[in-house]
Amino acid sequence: MIEERSRRLRLLAATRASLKAELEEPGQLAVLIDAQVPPEWPPETLRDARPVFAGWHEAHPDWTGWLEWYAIRVDAGTPVLCGSVGFKGPPDPRGMVEIGYSVLPEYQGAGLATEMVAALVGWAFRQPEVHHIEAETTPENPASIRVLERNGFQRAGDGSEPGSMRYRLGEFAAEHLSGPQLSSKDTSVVRPRSGR
Protein backbone atom coordinates (compact mmCIF):
# COMPACT_ATOMS: atom_id res chain seq x y z
CA MET A 1 0.00 0.00 0.00
CA ILE A 2 1.11 3.55 -0.67
CA GLU A 3 1.74 5.27 2.68
CA GLU A 4 1.98 8.89 3.79
CA ARG A 5 2.67 10.06 7.36
CA SER A 6 1.96 13.15 9.43
CA ARG A 7 2.51 13.88 13.11
CA ARG A 8 -0.47 11.89 14.37
CA LEU A 9 -1.58 9.92 11.34
CA ARG A 10 -0.55 7.17 8.98
CA LEU A 11 -2.41 7.41 5.68
CA LEU A 12 -2.72 4.28 3.52
CA ALA A 13 -4.05 4.33 -0.04
CA ALA A 14 -6.94 1.91 -0.38
CA THR A 15 -6.56 -1.01 -2.78
CA ARG A 16 -9.02 -3.42 -4.36
CA ALA A 17 -8.19 -5.92 -1.60
CA SER A 18 -8.69 -3.42 1.24
CA LEU A 19 -12.00 -2.17 -0.18
CA LYS A 20 -13.23 -5.74 -0.65
CA ALA A 21 -12.33 -6.45 2.98
CA GLU A 22 -13.95 -3.19 4.12
CA LEU A 23 -17.22 -4.10 2.39
CA GLU A 24 -17.27 -7.82 3.18
CA GLU A 25 -15.02 -8.60 6.16
CA PRO A 26 -13.99 -5.67 8.41
CA GLY A 27 -11.81 -7.97 10.53
CA GLN A 28 -9.64 -8.60 7.48
CA LEU A 29 -9.41 -4.84 6.87
CA ALA A 30 -7.93 -4.44 10.36
CA VAL A 31 -5.23 -6.96 9.44
CA LEU A 32 -4.49 -5.31 6.09
CA ILE A 33 -4.11 -1.82 7.56
CA ASP A 34 -2.63 -2.94 10.91
CA ALA A 35 -5.13 -0.92 12.95
CA GLN A 36 -8.35 -1.29 14.89
CA VAL A 37 -11.46 -0.70 12.80
CA PRO A 38 -14.17 0.87 15.02
CA PRO A 39 -17.63 -0.74 14.80
CA GLU A 40 -19.08 2.58 13.57
CA TRP A 41 -16.78 2.56 10.50
CA PRO A 42 -17.20 4.11 7.93
CA PRO A 43 -18.08 7.78 8.51
CA GLU A 44 -21.62 8.57 7.41
CA THR A 45 -20.53 10.68 4.43
CA LEU A 46 -18.45 7.78 3.07
CA ARG A 47 -21.04 4.96 3.39
CA ASP A 48 -22.76 5.48 0.06
CA ALA A 49 -19.50 6.14 -1.79
CA ARG A 50 -17.74 2.87 -0.88
CA PRO A 51 -19.35 0.77 -3.65
CA VAL A 52 -18.48 3.52 -6.15
CA PHE A 53 -14.83 3.50 -5.03
CA ALA A 54 -14.81 -0.32 -5.18
CA GLY A 55 -16.10 -0.16 -8.77
CA TRP A 56 -13.46 2.38 -9.75
CA HIS A 57 -10.72 0.23 -8.20
CA GLU A 58 -12.02 -2.79 -10.13
CA ALA A 59 -12.18 -0.89 -13.42
CA HIS A 60 -8.93 1.06 -12.91
CA PRO A 61 -6.42 -0.83 -10.74
CA ASP A 62 -3.79 1.78 -11.70
CA TRP A 63 -5.78 4.46 -9.82
CA THR A 64 -4.41 3.39 -6.41
CA GLY A 65 -3.51 6.61 -4.62
CA TRP A 66 -6.08 8.60 -6.59
CA LEU A 67 -9.08 7.30 -4.65
CA GLU A 68 -9.76 6.57 -0.96
CA TRP A 69 -7.03 6.66 1.71
CA TYR A 70 -7.43 5.33 5.25
CA ALA A 71 -6.45 7.73 8.05
CA ILE A 72 -5.05 5.81 11.02
CA ARG A 73 -4.37 7.63 14.27
CA VAL A 74 -1.03 6.42 15.62
CA ASP A 75 -0.28 8.83 18.48
CA ALA A 76 -2.73 7.55 21.10
CA GLY A 77 -1.76 3.96 21.89
CA THR A 78 -3.18 1.28 19.60
CA PRO A 79 -3.47 2.48 15.99
CA VAL A 80 -7.11 3.11 15.09
CA LEU A 81 -8.88 3.93 11.83
CA CYS A 82 -10.38 7.39 12.43
CA GLY A 83 -11.15 8.85 9.03
CA SER A 84 -10.82 8.82 5.29
CA VAL A 85 -9.41 11.24 2.78
CA GLY A 86 -8.99 10.87 -0.94
CA PHE A 87 -9.58 11.97 -4.49
CA LYS A 88 -12.29 11.35 -7.07
CA GLY A 89 -9.80 9.89 -9.52
CA PRO A 90 -6.50 10.84 -11.13
CA PRO A 91 -5.72 14.35 -12.40
CA ASP A 92 -7.81 15.61 -15.28
CA PRO A 93 -6.14 17.09 -18.41
CA ARG A 94 -5.75 20.44 -16.58
CA GLY A 95 -3.85 18.75 -13.74
CA MET A 96 -6.73 19.04 -11.26
CA VAL A 97 -7.75 16.51 -8.63
CA GLU A 98 -10.73 16.88 -6.29
CA ILE A 99 -10.21 16.00 -2.64
CA GLY A 100 -12.75 14.87 -0.05
CA TYR A 101 -12.45 13.88 3.61
CA SER A 102 -14.45 12.54 6.52
CA VAL A 103 -13.72 11.77 10.18
CA LEU A 104 -15.66 9.52 12.54
CA PRO A 105 -17.63 11.63 15.08
CA GLU A 106 -15.54 10.41 18.04
CA TYR A 107 -12.40 11.93 16.46
CA GLN A 108 -13.85 15.21 15.19
CA GLY A 109 -12.79 18.57 16.60
CA ALA A 110 -9.15 17.58 17.13
CA GLY A 111 -7.69 18.90 13.86
CA LEU A 112 -7.36 15.44 12.31
CA ALA A 113 -9.20 16.37 9.11
CA THR A 114 -6.89 19.36 8.67
CA GLU A 115 -3.88 17.10 9.17
CA MET A 116 -5.24 14.44 6.79
CA VAL A 117 -5.81 17.00 4.06
CA ALA A 118 -2.36 18.57 4.58
CA ALA A 119 -0.64 15.19 4.25
CA LEU A 120 -2.56 14.19 1.12
CA VAL A 121 -2.07 17.62 -0.46
CA GLY A 122 1.67 17.12 0.06
CA TRP A 123 1.52 13.71 -1.59
CA ALA A 124 -0.51 15.03 -4.53
CA PHE A 125 1.81 17.96 -5.25
CA ARG A 126 4.76 15.56 -5.40
CA GLN A 127 3.05 13.89 -8.36
CA PRO A 128 4.24 15.72 -11.49
CA GLU A 129 0.85 15.74 -13.21
CA VAL A 130 -0.94 17.63 -10.39
CA HIS A 131 -1.24 21.41 -10.82
CA HIS A 132 -4.06 22.21 -8.43
CA ILE A 133 -6.47 20.58 -6.01
CA GLU A 134 -10.13 21.45 -5.62
CA ALA A 135 -12.81 20.59 -3.06
CA GLU A 136 -16.47 21.29 -2.54
CA THR A 137 -18.37 22.00 0.65
CA THR A 138 -21.44 23.93 1.77
CA PRO A 139 -21.92 27.04 3.92
CA GLU A 140 -23.73 24.78 6.42
CA ASN A 141 -20.46 22.93 7.10
CA PRO A 142 -18.16 25.49 8.75
CA ALA A 143 -15.80 22.76 10.02
CA SER A 144 -15.12 21.67 6.44
CA ILE A 145 -14.56 25.27 5.36
CA ARG A 146 -12.00 25.68 8.19
CA VAL A 147 -10.18 22.50 7.10
CA LEU A 148 -9.84 23.87 3.58
CA GLU A 149 -8.87 27.40 4.60
CA ARG A 150 -6.28 26.14 7.12
CA ASN A 151 -4.70 24.22 4.27
CA GLY A 152 -4.50 27.28 2.02
CA PHE A 153 -7.52 26.59 -0.18
CA GLN A 154 -9.29 29.68 -1.47
CA ARG A 155 -12.88 30.12 -2.56
CA ALA A 156 -13.10 29.57 -6.32
CA GLY A 157 -16.81 29.95 -7.03
CA ASP A 158 -19.93 27.85 -6.91
CA GLY A 159 -19.80 24.08 -6.59
CA SER A 160 -21.43 21.49 -8.80
CA GLU A 161 -24.44 21.02 -6.50
CA PRO A 162 -26.95 23.79 -5.71
CA GLY A 163 -25.76 25.75 -2.68
CA SER A 164 -22.27 24.24 -2.68
CA MET A 165 -18.99 26.16 -2.90
CA ARG A 166 -15.78 25.22 -4.70
CA TYR A 167 -12.35 25.81 -3.17
CA ARG A 168 -8.97 25.58 -4.92
CA LEU A 169 -5.35 25.16 -3.94
CA GLY A 170 -2.67 25.45 -6.58
CA GLU A 171 -1.31 28.08 -8.86
CA PHE A 172 -2.52 31.08 -6.89
CA ALA A 173 -3.05 29.58 -3.43
CA ALA A 174 -0.21 27.27 -2.39
CA GLU A 175 1.86 29.99 -0.75
CA HIS A 176 -0.93 30.39 1.83
CA LEU A 177 -0.47 26.96 3.44
CA SER A 178 -0.58 27.61 7.17
CA GLY A 179 -2.05 26.39 10.39
CA PRO A 180 -1.06 24.92 13.71
CA GLN A 181 -0.55 21.42 12.28
CA LEU A 182 2.07 22.62 9.80
CA SER A 183 5.67 23.55 10.37
CA SER A 184 8.70 24.20 8.22
CA LYS A 185 10.00 20.78 9.29
CA ASP A 186 6.82 18.94 8.25
CA THR A 187 7.89 16.96 5.20
CA SER A 188 4.34 15.85 4.45
CA VAL A 189 3.47 19.31 3.12
CA VAL A 190 5.04 20.17 -0.21
CA ARG A 191 4.04 23.26 -2.08
CA PRO A 192 3.49 23.10 -5.84
CA ARG A 193 6.50 23.66 -7.96
CA SER A 194 6.91 27.19 -9.32
CA GLY A 195 5.92 28.07 -12.83
CA ARG A 196 2.46 26.55 -12.69
Q: Sketch out the chain's domains with CATH numbers.
A: 3-176 (3.40.630.30)
What is the predicted pLDDT for the residue at 26?
82
Using CA of residue 161, residue 163, residue 169, residue 170, what is the dihedral sign? positive
CA nearest neighbour of 83 among 101, 65, 110: 101
What is the predicted pLDDT for the residue at 45?
84
What is the predicted pLDDT for the residue at 171?
60
What does the alpha-carbon distance between residue 58 and residue 8 come to, in Å, rounded to a whole number? 31
Q: What is the pLDDT along the chain (196 residues), one digit of tens a residue?
A: 899 999 999 999 999 899 889 888 888 999 999 999 999 999 988 888 888 888 898 999 899 999 999 999 999 899 999 999 999 999 999 999 999 999 999 999 999 999 999 999 999 999 999 999 999 999 999 999 999 999 999 999 999 999 999 999 986 444 434 333 333 333 333 333 333 3
What is the predicted pLDDT for the residue at 187?
33
What is the predicted pLDDT for the residue at 3?
96
What is the predicted pLDDT for the residue at 73?
98
- pTM for this structure? 0.85
CA nearest neighbour of 113 among 27, 45, 40: 45
Amino acid at the residue 68: E
